[in-house]
Amino acid sequence: MMDTNYYNKKVSDFFHIYSDGTRMDVLFETDEDCVFGMNLLAVSAFQCHLEIICPEIMKTHFHLIIKGEAQQIRKFAGEIKRRLTGYFHRDGRRHIVKDAIQIVSDPICSEEELRTKIIYVFRNCTEAGFRLLPEEYPWGPGHSFFHKRKKGKPISSLSYREQCRLFHTRTKLPAYWEFDDQGMLLPSSYIDLDFFHTRIFQSTRQFLAFLNVKKRDLAEMESADARIFLERKDEDALRKEIGRYSQQLHGVPVRNLSEAKRLSIATKMWTERKTFSVKQLARLTRLSPELLRTVLHIQP
């Protein structure tokens, strides 16, 4: 009889690292910010002797599946906080990091959990409103896993001074790593693809099959929300709309409002029959979904 645990072996030294996705401030607003964020993850992981499996930068936060020792993970998180804070201070945007950046690292215990978390990070952009396939999202693994990979220029083509200026580090990076025309290090250069192909998803067919299974699981978990909205609204547009309501009704940003005033904005938007989920509205107005469902008389 086949061992049912064969494909769900225990793993160690794998972590799902992510920053606070509930914050209202947009960390990565421009392409330049996103390039900095992606490069920061890659460079900091290299400095801390960590292996990246799947990275993703969103507007307000980031996700990362990574392999390494717990002590190095803590060092990595501290380095990300320090350099992000310094980046926004130098750019004159201190208000963005007025509230300390919170980073969580959750250990991953089995191959099944590892696959699930990889799929979650890979698809995170579509859950936030990205309208193309996840591999087309520019601030994630892209086509690194199975598709024909994007080609760039090797770091060996740069002088040491050019490398320092472009990637904001004095650490000498591997000469074979490649970067694109925007100066972003290509994820296919530093993602541990050998481990990905030999231990996690041995073929495109397996990856797609697992992706579809997880889609069904996610659909079941979110079926209550799916019944009460027509389509996901792009979170960036929704965030701007909430900000506009906040200024019109109260004259200050949402982050400065009391819970009662944030609830009044959420109620106003919901009664106007906007096309977004309760979870999205709750997250962007910093309210709990349970409270919002109770106030709006929505059955869970």
Which run of H or of E encompasses 67?
strand 62-67
Show the DSSP H helices in 135-234 as ranges.
160-167, 187-190, 193-195, 204-221, 223-226
Query: Would you state the torsion angle of the CA atoms of residues 32, 38, 234, 262, taken in this order, to the nearest 10 degrees?
Result: -90
pLDDT on residue 169: 94
Q: What is the pTM of this model?
A: 0.69
CA gap 268, 286 in Å, rounded: 15
pLDDT averaged over 10-residue windows placed end to end, the chain, 300 residues: 54 88 77 95 96 92 92 94 90 74 86 86 82 87 76 94 94 95 94 82 77 57 33 62 85 87 86 70 84 80
For residue 147, count CB atoms less than 10 angstroms from its CB and return exposed for 0-12, middle for 13-18, buried for 19 or more: exposed
3-state helix, strand, coil in the chain (%, to 5): 50, 10, 35
CA gap 202, 47 in Å, rounded: 29
Over the stretch 186-211, which tens digit does the pLDDT of each residue have?
999 999 888 888 778 877 777 877 77
Over the stretch 63-99, which tens digit does the pLDDT of each residue have?
999 999 999 999 999 999 999 989 988 888 877 766 6
Q: Listing from the earlier edge strand, what are the strands of the sheet with 62-67?
A: 51-57, 62-67, 10-19, 103-110
Tell me the CB-side half-sphere exposure of residue 42, using CA atoms within 13 A: 30
pLDDT on residue 2: 37
**Nearest partner of 282 among 18, 38, 24, 5, judged by Cα:** 24
Residue type (1 letter), 92? G
